Structure 1
Amino acid sequence: MTASAPRTVAHDDRSSGPTGGIDRGTVLAMVLGSILNPVNSSMLTVALVPVARGFHTTPAQTAWLVSGLYLATAIGQPVFGRVVDIIGPRTPYLLGAALTGAASLFGALAPNLPLLVLSRILLGLGTSAAYPAAMALVRRQADASDHDDARRPTTILAILTASSQVVAVLGPTVGGLLISAGGWRLIWAVNLPLVAACLTLGARRLPRYPRPAAPDPIDVRGVALFSATLTLFMLFLMDPTSGHWYLPVLAAAVGTAFTVTSLRTAHPFLDLRVLAGNVPLLATYVRQFLAYLSTYAFLYGFTQWAQASHGLSAAEAGLLLLPLSAAALAATAATGRHPTAFGKLVVGSVLQILGAGILLTLGATTPAVLLVAVGVVMGIPQGINGLGNQNALYVQGDAARMGASAGLLRTFMYVGALTAASANAACFRHGATTSGLHQLAWLLLGASTALLVMSVADKSLRGVGRQAWRGPASSLGLGWGGGPTGRR
């Protein structure tokens, strides 16, 4: 197999090699595609204030830059995931990368805030394809292998989560440096070389899976109703006031229509019968929501407060999060190859509770060492909560719908992120003040406590990793082209 020719997989979905190993070029393509979404989410944390100043708007208005991407992503992830399940991962991956490149160029040149928001919506859609494609590819390769070791994709799952987690926490630092070097428009332009790498590697390395003779049709009506339901619900989250009472009512009505349609459709977009019967998977989705509600509320709230009330520049606010990045990286490296979920989620939720408590003590004159300390405390959960939920999903999800299941996991992640953005806008309605930060801390405390309770109460989590991937926890799982364990 040459580096320039995409691999073709036989009709039984077996890889071209005897072990089902995934080579390094393919892994790199999956990682680069998957980090486009978190890097665009996190870099914006330090750009909201400069964008508001540049367009002479308020923080409440620039919050649409956050909300637009999250709304598009929450819808796009399961939609792209279902397309991946039907036609394979390669084509959706390449289409998503191309759309991301076009949206990035559009945003870098946008003359006003509304068009900048539109670029973020397109970015959200474009960056929604890679993660479901990667998860589906890993599961297909593992299920196609005759080797037990190849069914334990511990390392690749850890790499996918670790790269996204690390990029998410490094994003504010990189974003601050970019803004200092050339202004906030570089936050969009920096995507272009990443997209070029994704298109090149994706075209060369991602395998071609032959389509089945009679593929399931795409449930267009289900997609439309799901999108409308989620849009109405999330629009209410953006401004949950009594004047918008009709939005959740409409969301409930459209959601009912979606449910009825899905139950009557032979090949629905989301199989609600299967989903309703999989209680552990539903619990994983809720935990994902709670984990990322806390994660993004802290990232956006803390960095805005540090600039507006503690007097830091965008670059300084980004550098302040370097200890958080280091803590997340260390936690991911230490636990990534262990396919368990219970311990990660319990430790992560406890540390988030501790971090929320520290936030309640912060003020405009708080010493820098305490700001660094809260970043370290909050960094560890950002490195392990996503790993725990992803490991649980891999075991709990239906292999034939792994793309849609993985996409829905990201949907709950970004519903949590959008809820966090809404909370930030509400708490900082009159600016990123210390009192607003303390209000946000109480939200983090409640969400983290709920995450802890759900994790401890879910007995099925204790079996994740031990039942699904038997053998040493340090196994490298899917190989890097040199055998089932990656050893040459």
Structure 2
Amino acid sequence: MTWLTRLTRPGRSIPTDDTFDRKLIAPMILGSILNPVNSSMIAVALIPIGIDLGAPPSETAWLVSALYLATAIGQPVVGRLVDIYGPRRLYLAGTALVGIAGILGALAVSVGALVVARVLLGFGTCAGYPAAMYLIRSEATRTGRDSPNGVLTLLVIASQTIAVVGPSLGGLLIGLGGWRATFTVNVPLALACLVLGALRLPRTRASARTTGLAGTVDLAGIALFAAMLVSLLLFLTTPQLSHAYLLAITVAAAAGLGWWELRAATPFIDLRVLGGNLPLLATYTRTLLTAVVAYAFLYGYTQWLEQGRGLTPTVAGLVLIPMFAIGVVVSAVTGRRTEVRGKLVVGAVAQVVACGGLLLLGPGTGIWWLVGLALILGIPQGLNNLANQNAMYHQADPTRTGSSAGLYRTFFYLGAISAAAANGAFLADRADTAGLHHLALFLGPCALLFLAVTLADRSLRRIGGSKDAEAPADHDPVPAGPCTSRSPGQAPRP
């Protein structure tokens, strides 16, 4: 029996129509993989792309930021559309766009064309995670039981933890077919998603309240949100006094976004709901900080391995394999328990230790030390993402599962954008040891803030308490209450 089967099997024999529909797992997991793999696989390809196309690091950095921006903007939009129209249509449209982006990237002859391909990848991969969360919630409603914790664990591995395998996969592909292979691989992945999605995802009716795209999606809110993110990223990429006008645009767009969202009939970001759900806001904050530390490591450490330590892209990818392996093992071992606070505390401490470990690296650091640091980094990858997702799942309004999941991913990629800006600032011209140490001094306070937010959030104690631990892990809903663990199909009580 495979580890995947063990993760998803029911705790006891129950009628077939009361169990999670296992045929949904393959398209859910494969669709969720597309975004994290593409977000991290480019890490080992940046230097080969720059050499081949004659582009400096300041230009190739946009290959990272472009996908993050597209994803941060697209996730809540697509999540809202999934809530309205169901997962099937968005899933199929998104994965088709991924295939087109893969072809465009493989044929590109300039960094500009690659940026366009990465933007399309960002939008195309937005559907996988909200669609999966929608299906998990709808299955819980259909069966009247909590969806198995093993399914949620698999989703965490597929949508977040697996990101750490990106550099290893990218290094292997570059060794076999050059950097273009990191784009070409999306074509067979997209085809597999299209086939599985068409065969297995259920057809659902659109909400009766839909009145066209403009009536169901807050286009003005999206535009203001995009203006805020783009102007902020442009300033962080080139933080100079002459570019202070970009900060002014950011502040103006943020103020306009807040004013508009409080008045919009169908807000892009429902500020009233978020303002009344402080535990969910804390989860989004932890998610952002998780991504800052994880992606700054993933890109900064990987580039340092190539330039500061002198490893080839393939060897650098191999050094990071333990990070992926430990992340998956930790997620698999702890995933059947709904308790989240202990996972977050251990993950936070591991992040602090890893940040300190960066300060000890140098051009002559031995391979085994590099592998050991990767092992430490795998612990928060397996714990923090899993715990944050489970917290969001129990804290979000069940009627807005798709959009809450999309906003969760938006905060994750806001953190990734911040990480990209930090890498650009500290490793601007070359990923040398001095720059890596400066990056570590920036990440240390982020890791400490993550720990502080976790310790201060008392609501986490109510998710997966002792009563949950004694109950069968895969079902038996617990009583609902404000900010507490509840059955996925059950709304919170006022």
State the match for 1:203 in structure 2: 198
Equivalent residues of 1:156, 1:477 under 8 A apart: no
- Cα distance in 1 between the residues matched to 2:194 and 2:42: 24
- Cα distance in 2 between the residues matched to 1:307 and 1:220: 42
Q: How does 1:293-304 map to 2 (within 5 A)?
A: 293-304=292-303
State the match for 2:116 in structure 1: 118
AA matched with 2:166: G
Query: In the TM superposition, what is the alpha-carbon distance from 1:152 to its structure 2 partner?
Result: 4.4
Out of 175, 184, 187, the position equivalent to 1:189 is 184
- Cα distance in 1 between the residues matched to 2:225 and 2:454: 28
Equivalent residues of 1:162, 1:336 under 8 A apart: no
- Cα distance in 1 between the residues matched to 2:161 and 2:449: 25
AA matched with 1:466: G
- Cα distance in 1 between the residues matched to 2:472 and 2:311: 42
Query: In the TM superposition, what is the alpha-carbon distance from 1:477 to its structure 2 partner?
Result: 4.3
Normalising by structure 1, we get a TM-score of: 0.90
State the match for 1:429 in structure 2: 428
Query: In the TM superposition, what is the alpha-carbon distance from 1:116 to its structure 2 partner?
Result: 0.6
- Cα distance in 1 between the residues matched to 2:286 and 2:317: 28
Query: In the TM superposition, what is the alpha-carbon distance from 1:474 to its structure 2 partner?
Result: 6.0
State the match for 1:314 in structure 2: 313
AA matched with 2:197: G
Query: In the TM superposition, what is the alpha-carbon distance from 1:429 to its structure 2 partner?
Result: 1.7
- Cα distance in 2 between the residues matched to 1:332 and 1:123: 27
For residues 34-73 of structure 1, the C-alpha deviation after alignment (integer angstroms, 9 at most, x for no partner) is: 0100010111111111111111122222111000000110
State the match for 1:29 in structure 2: 27
For residues 330-349 of structure 1, the C-alpha deviation after alignment (integer angstroms, 9 at most, x for no partner) is: 21111111112111111111
Query: In the TM superposition, what is the alpha-carbon distance from 1:358 to its structure 2 partner?
Result: 1.0
Task: Report SS of the residue matched to 1:210.
Answer: coil
State the match for 1:57 in structure 2: 55
Task: Report SS of the residue matched to 1:85.
Answer: helix
Aligned: 1:164 with 2:159: yes
Query: In the TM superposition, what is the alpha-carbon distance from 1:218 to its structure 2 partner?
Result: 2.3
State the match for 1:394 in structure 2: 393
AA matched with 2:176: A
Specify whether residues 364 and 197 from structure 1 end up closer, same or farther in structure 2 by C-alpha distance, changes over 3 A only: same
AA matched with 1:202: G
State the match for 1:286 in structure 2: 285
- Cα distance in 2 between the residues matched to 1:219 and 1:310: 48
- Cα distance in 2 between the residues matched to 1:477 and 1:116: 46
Specify whether residues 471 and 298 from structure 1 end up closer, same or farther in structure 2 by C-alpha distance, changes over 3 A only: closer
- Cα distance in 2 between the residues matched to 1:41 and 1:82: 22
- Cα distance in 2 between the residues matched to 1:17 and 1:236: 55
State the match for 2:223 in structure 1: 224
AA matched with 1:79: V
Equivalent residues of 1:337, 1:473 under 8 A apart: no
Q: How does 1:319-398 map to 2 (within 5 A)?
A: 319-398=318-397
- Cα distance in 2 between the residues matched to 1:172 and 1:270: 33
Equivalent residues of 1:110, 1:116 under 8 A apart: yes
Equivalent residues of 2:139, 2:147 under 8 A apart: no
AA matched with 2:395: Q
Aligned: 1:214 with 2:209: yes
Equivalent residues of 1:294, 1:447 under 8 A apart: yes
Specify whether residues 93 and 473 from structure 1 end up closer, same or farther in structure 2 by C-alpha distance, changes over 3 A only: farther
Aligned: 1:305 with 2:327: no
For residues 404-447 of structure 1, the C-alpha deviation after alignment (integer angstroms, 9 at most, x for no partner) is: 11111111111111111111111112311100010111112111
For residues 5-59 of structure 1, the C-alpha deviation after alignment (integer angstroms, 9 at most, x for no partner) is: xxxxxxxxxxx9742x333331110110001000101111111111111111222
State the match for 2:257 in structure 1: 258
- Cα distance in 1 between the residues matched to 2:344 and 2:393: 16
- Cα distance in 1 between the residues matched to 2:469 and 2:377: 32
- Cα distance in 2 between the residues matched to 1:214 and 1:451: 40
State the match for 2:483 in structure 1: none
Task: Report SS of the residue matched to 2:262.
Answer: helix
For residues 362-409 of structure 1, the C-alpha deviation after alignment (integer angstroms, 9 at most, x for no partner) is: 100111111111110111111111001001000111111111111111
AA matched with 1:162: I
Aligned: 1:173 with 2:172: no
- Calculate percent identity across the aligned residue pairs: 49
State the match for 2:443 in structure 1: 444
Equivalent residues of 2:351, 2:377 under 8 A apart: yes
Ranges in structure 2 where 5+ consecutive residues have no aligned partner: 1-14, 477-486, 488-494
AA matched with 1:318: G
Query: In the TM superposition, what is the alpha-carbon distance from 1:242 to its structure 2 partner?
Result: 2.3
Task: Report SS of the residue matched to 1:264.
Answer: coil
- Cα distance in 2 between the residues matched to 1:213 and 1:305: 53
After the TM superposition, which segments of 4 or more aligned residues of structure 1 sit over 6 Å from their partners? none
State the match for 1:142 in structure 2: 140
Aligned: 1:412 with 2:411: yes
Query: In the TM superposition, what is the alpha-carbon distance from 1:132 to its structure 2 partner?
Result: 0.8
Specify whether residues 367 and 91 from structure 1 end up closer, same or farther in structure 2 by C-alpha distance, changes over 3 A only: same
State the match for 1:72 in structure 2: 70
Ranges in structure 1 where 5+ consecutive residues have no aligned partner: 1-15, 479-483
AA matched with 1:74: A
Normalising by structure 2, we get a TM-score of: 0.89
Query: In the TM superposition, what is the alpha-carbon distance from 1:245 to its structure 2 partner?
Result: 1.3
- Cα distance in 2 between the residues matched to 1:155 and 1:477: 11
Specify whether residues 474 and 113 from structure 1 end up closer, same or farther in structure 2 by C-alpha distance, changes over 3 A only: farther
Aligned-pair Cα RMSD in Å:
1.9
- Cα distance in 2 between the residues matched to 1:129 and 1:383: 23
- Cα distance in 2 between the residues matched to 1:369 and 1:269: 47
- Cα distance in 1 between the residues matched to 2:465 and 2:20: 23
For residues 59-99 of structure 1, the C-alpha deviation after alignment (integer angstroms, 9 at most, x for no partner) is: 22211100000011000101100111111111111111111
- Cα distance in 2 between the residues matched to 1:43 and 1:265: 38
State the match for 2:490 in structure 1: none
AA matched with 1:373: G
Equivalent residues of 2:233, 2:421 under 8 A apart: no
Equivalent residues of 1:391, 1:465 under 8 A apart: no
- Cα distance in 2 between the residues matched to 1:235 and 1:403: 29
AA matched with 1:439: H
State the match for 1:13 in structure 2: none
Task: Report SS of the residue matched to 1:394.
Answer: helix
Specify whether residues 383 and 473 from structure 1 end up closer, same or farther in structure 2 by C-alpha distance, changes over 3 A only: farther
Q: How does 1:75-94 map to 2 (within 5 A)?
A: 75-94=73-92
- Cα distance in 2 between the residues matched to 1:177 and 1:286: 34
Specify whether residues 222 and 70 from structure 1 end up closer, same or farther in structure 2 by C-alpha distance, changes over 3 A only: same
- Cα distance in 2 between the residues matched to 1:367 and 1:57: 31
Equivalent residues of 1:67, 1:238 under 8 A apart: no
- 150-159 or 80-89: bigger deviation: 150-159
State the match for 2:273 in structure 1: 274
